Structure 1
Amino acid sequence: MALNETLLRRLIETPGVSGREEQQRAISREELGALADEVRTDLMGSVIGTKKGSDDVRVMVAAHTDEIGFLVKHIDDKGFLRLQTLGGHDPSNMVSQRVVVTTAGGEALKGALQPQRKPPHIATEVDKKPPTADEFFVDLGMEADEVKEKVRVGDYAVMDRTLEKVGANYIGKAMDDRIGVFVMYEAMRALGDHEATVYAAATSQEEVGLRGAAASGSALRPTVVVALDVTLAMDIPGGGNENEISALGKGVALKIMDGYSISHPKLVEHFRAIAERENIPHQMEILPFGGTDAGGVQRLHGGIPAITLSIPCRYVHTPNEMVNAEDVQAAITLLARYLEEAHTGDYAL
């Protein structure tokens, strides 16, 4: 089954960093407006679509809309922009990239992201040391007066990359976590009869501490939480079998644990049983660091059974994040089938 590439492209290419997800919110309201019985936006900026059920079970499905990026923190006398990072960046992946700066006035300004470095022709040994994040600036190619007229402190920047199909995979920026958002929308579209109430939460500010999910979960008081996010696919040179974590093309990953949460064991087994029964490709995942929206909600209200369905992704937190189309479809199918029978789950310990 082919993925909805038009929607995926729109999600990937539309910018939105933590706390500045307004363009993604517009997509969320549009998609969930067609899929849910009611849609609302909370004060943290998460968009929640409610699909009503007849049972007391309330499943919160959470996928975050924010991507890693930058805030403009200073404009110097020559018009160069200095940046504050949002989310986890490896400076080696930032060198000589193109970015798009979104202004308060709604303009999208393209520029070059560069570290303070001399060209290799005249570089000294000191210049050849790896740059740190605070050395980078954006060159918009404009005179300083024009830059200061268009850009202000607090405007944001993201990598300038488009979605591309490469073999059986897709590559682009912001797969973390727009691919999770995509899975959530498409699973809601594929959802059949269900008795549980489903809260589809397109959350904010995950990359800076799971903040949006925690606020939404506190208000919604779900009885089950299913987070959707990427996980590291280390089936690449230098990965090593014992450190693989997940691999592209082997299906959706059922997370057992990460650095912020341990998935409820009975919930893991429920998802595994559905995957085996329905012949949905899947793999088991242990990620000894990092976290997802599940960790932001799991400890609320005395504890909530939680799990993360992970989409394996190569090159996470780079401009070239890569996922496999069949893994994505497996995640969509598994989530939809679970929601149809979520009311049957017994997670008492």
Structure 2
Amino acid sequence: MKNINFDLLNDIVTTPGIPGFEHAIRKRIIEEIKDVVDEYYTDNIGNLITVIKGKRNPEDKKVMVAAHMDEIGFMVSHIDDNGFVKFIPLGGFDPKTVTSMRVIVHGSKDLIGVMGSKPVHSMSPEERNKVVKLDEYFIDLGLPKEEVEQYIQPGNPISRKQDLIKVGNMLNGKSLDDRICVYALIETLKTIKNPAYDVYGVFTVQEEVGLRGAHVAGHGIDPDFGIALDVTVANDIPGIPAEKKVTAMGNGVAVKLYDSGTICDIRMVEHLKRSASLVDLPFQTEILPAGGTDTAGIQRMAKNGAIAGALSVPMRYLHQTTEMAHEEDVKGMVTTLVKALETMDESTWEY
């Protein structure tokens, strides 16, 4: 893969789609892939499933590749007498990072708001030494209650408002988890010509609230092989010892060994390592002590289980206001994945 299509990636990153409300990002993805896949459809939970037929498939082998299209966000839970909006989170947030963050409340009309909390000048000495809890925040829409309620009601989704930018050699913006991998899967579907087996490229829903889409898709597709695409922790920053770094930015795509939901199948681990080597790309391995990915849903929900693993993009500031990824790691994910799918029939899968 030569270069990142920055405009397309920015479009994917900024299109809203929190868990349970993925319709806008699903529509945008369809626009990109409809002419390059053999088939696509949406299942009952909202997963977008694409199919590219393999070159040799005498046993009807299926490979499921999944990237989740939902992003962490919020849902309106209450509007107070002064028009301030209270909310619940959909997905995990680091509370200390949301102060003054701009958001979009998607009602009958989209309204831009700001995450507010008690200002430091009004805090007691004890309060100043504590991290503000997420349920202490509110959203200020700059409007009175009567006008807010013309457009907004409980249950409306809330996404973050932020564009993608370049910071040095890095990509920086909101929701790179997992829109950076949505982009990688789109580019893979556009690039791959002769996969060994039928490829089911799945853009899953509701990963951030419990891998719900991957469970449904894994059960419905019943794949023989599975590869999840997600981001992982890059703790290559000051203050963290080397043994806790997980991955480092710019050192290549990560081949997952373990996360809290999956022990990756060693056969798939070796296949993914081999694939990176075949295209002369660096890679690193990933042991993620906390946090799970769609790998678990793919691995467990197939009728007889799937031979499953994952490729991960190292990322700083995960689940914070802005996230950061190295574009070379993203390009490495696409190139490695294409080779892995093209050579799936060349690896040994017996125990």
Task: Specify if TM > 0.5.
Answer: yes
Give the letter aligned to residue 15 of structure 1.
Answer: P
Give the letter aligned to residue 310 of structure 2.
Answer: T
- Look up the match of 2:330: 328
Mapped to 2, the partners of 1:120 and 1:65 lie a distance apart of: 36
How far has the Cα of 1:89 moved from its partner? 1.1
- Look up the match of 1:284: 285
2:343 maps to which of 324, 341, 345: 341
- Look up the match of 1:77: 81
TM-score (norm 2): 0.96
- Look up the match of 1:315: 317
- Summarize the alignment of residues 9-28 of structure 1 with structure 2, pairs less than 5 Å apart: 9-28=10-29
Give the letter aligned to residue 100 of structure 1.
Answer: I
- Cα RMSD of the aligned pairs, angstroms, is 1.2
Give the letter aligned to residue 94 of structure 1.
Answer: V
Mapped to 1, the partners of 2:93 and 2:219 lie a distance apart of: 29
Identical aligned residues as a percent: 41
Mapped to 1, the partners of 2:220 and 2:142 lie a distance apart of: 46
How far has the Cα of 1:344 moved from its partner? 2.8
- Summarize the alignment of residues 237-248 of structure 1 with structure 2, pairs less than 5 Å apart: 237-248=238-249
Structure 1 contact 57–342 (Cα < 8 Å) conserved = no
How far has the Cα of 1:154 moved from its partner? 0.8
How far has the Cα of 1:133 moved from its partner? 1.2
1:145 paired to 2:146:
yes
Deviations 1:177-228 (A, max 9, x none): 0011111111111112223100010000000000001101111111101000
Give the letter aligned to residue 120 of structure 1.
Answer: V
- Look up the match of 1:66: 70
Partner SS state of residue 35, structure 1: coil
TM-score (norm 1): 0.96
Partner SS state of residue 350, structure 2: coil
How far has the Cα of 1:120 moved from its partner? 2.8
- Look up the match of 2:251: 250
How far has the Cα of 1:7 moved from its partner? 1.1
- Summarize the alignment of residues 202-281 of structure 1 with structure 2, pairs less than 5 Å apart: 202-281=203-282
- Look up the match of 2:93: 89
- Look up the match of 2:61: 57
Partner SS state of residue 298, structure 1: helix
- Look up the match of 1:42: 43
How far has the Cα of 1:34 moved from its partner? 2.1
Structure 1 contact 281–327 (Cα < 8 Å) conserved = no
Structure 2 contact 314–329 (Cα < 8 Å) conserved = yes
- Look up the match of 1:167: 168
Mapped to 2, the partners of 1:7 and 1:60 lie a distance apart of: 24
2:104 maps to which of 100, 117, 124: 100
Mapped to 2, the partners of 1:114 and 1:122 lie a distance apart of: 13
Mapped to 2, the partners of 1:126 and 1:76 lie a distance apart of: 27
Structure 1 contact 70–84 (Cα < 8 Å) conserved = yes
Structure 2's unaligned 5+ residue stretches are none
How far has the Cα of 1:346 moved from its partner? 2.9
- Look up the match of 1:121: 121
Partner SS state of residue 271, structure 1: helix
How far has the Cα of 1:170 moved from its partner? 0.3
Give the letter aligned to residue 81 of structure 2.
Answer: D
Give the letter aligned to residue 77 of structure 1.
Answer: D
Q: Structure 1's 72 and 122: CA in aligned 2 closer, same or farther, altered over 3 A?
A: closer
Mapped to 1, the partners of 2:67 and 2:196 lie a distance apart of: 22
**Higher alpha-carbon deviation: 49-58 or 304-313:** 49-58
Give the letter aligned to residue 123 of structure 2.
Answer: A
Partner SS state of residue 82, structure 1: strand
How far has the Cα of 1:127 moved from its partner? 3.2
Aligned length: 345
Structure 1's unaligned 5+ residue stretches are none
Mapped to 2, the partners of 1:241 and 1:126 lie a distance apart of: 34
Structure 1 contact 232–316 (Cα < 8 Å) conserved = yes
Structure 1 segments (4+ residues) deviating >6 Å: none
How far has the Cα of 1:82 moved from its partner? 0.5
Partner SS state of residue 161, structure 1: coil
Structure 1 contact 161–319 (Cα < 8 Å) conserved = no
Structure 2 contact 64–298 (Cα < 8 Å) conserved = no
